[in-house]
Structure formats: structure tokens, C-alpha cells
Amino acid sequence: QVQLVESGGGLVQAGGSLSLSCAASGRTFSNYAMGWFRQAPGKERQFVASVSKNGGRKYYADSVKGRFTISRDNAKNTVYLQMNSLKPEETAVYYCAADRDGLARVSLDIDYWGQGTQVTVSS
């Protein structure tokens, strides 16, 4: 079992920045690819970014490339998402995800989810 706890959400104006963190506990953190997904009201959960087990490979949704940065610190069992130039349409609950066998890019492959943190971008 892996427990994931997100933090860092909040309210920000359009064009602003937020940094999310996800602290993991339980099984060996470095055995999991880690990802961030988001879900807006009435919409499906969508992939945002992911990072491989050793941090060597990173993947981003096209909509966030160049603005968001994912990173992980295996010594601290934590994954981060730095979000810059935020847009109102990116208002959503952001979820941390752990994937034992894949790249944490597909929601159906996710083994563990955090409880989510609200990000609200005002116009």
C-alpha cells in the first residue's frame, strides 16, 4: 500500500504560479513512476505530467509543456509539480498518482491516488 498526500493547492490569479507537492509513504517510493492528473467539474480526469522511477524521463501533456515542471526526490519520497503561467481553464482538483509497472501516464494504469488538492485560477 502507498499513501499519497498532496499539498500546495490554492487560489492564484491568471499568469501566476503554484507549486504542488506529493508526499508518499508505505512501499518503496522509487519503485513507482509518479504522475499528476487533474479533474475539472463535469470533466474526465486528465493526464498532466509524469516522471519515471529514477527521474530520468519526464512526460507532459501538450497543454502544459513549457509551463509546468515535474520533479521527484526519492530521498524525500516526494514528487513536485511547478506550475507557471496558469490559466483559468486549469482550475481543477490535482491528483498525485503512483504507477508500479508503467509510466503514470494513463489513469487506468494507476495503482494509487492521492486525495487531491484544489487549484483555482482566477481571471
% of the chain residues with pLDDT over 90: 98
pLDDT of the residue at 8: 97
pLDDT of residue 27: 81
Terminus-to-terminus CA distance in the chain, angstroms?
A: 39
> Which residues, 6+ apart, have CB-to-CB distance to 84 below 8 Å?
17, 67, 68, 69
For the CA atoms of the chain, what is the radius of gyration?
Answer: 13
Confidence of residue 32 (pLDDT cuts 50, 70, 90): very high
**Coil, strand or helix at 64:** helix
Predicted pLDDT at 1: 87
Confidence check: pLDDT of 20 > 90 = yes
Closest CA to 104 of 2, 43, 35, 38: 35
Q: Are 71 and 83 spatial neighbours (Cβ–Cβ below 8 Å)?
A: no
